[in-house]
Amino acid sequence: MEIWDGYLEAGSLAGCDLIRGNQIPDGLFHLVSEVILSDIKWQSSAYYEETVRQRGK
Which tens digit of pLDDT belongs to each residue from 42-51? 556 777 777 7
In this predicted structure, what is the pLDDT of residue 55?
A: 80
Segment 17-41, tens digit of pLDDT: 999 999 999 999 999 998 877 666 6
- Exposed e or buried b for every residue in 14-40, given b needs 16+ CB within 10 A? beeebeeeeeeeeeeeeeeeeeeeeee
Q: Break the chain down into helix, strand, coil percent, rounded to 5.
A: 25, 25, 50
Evaluate if pTM is beyond 0.85. no
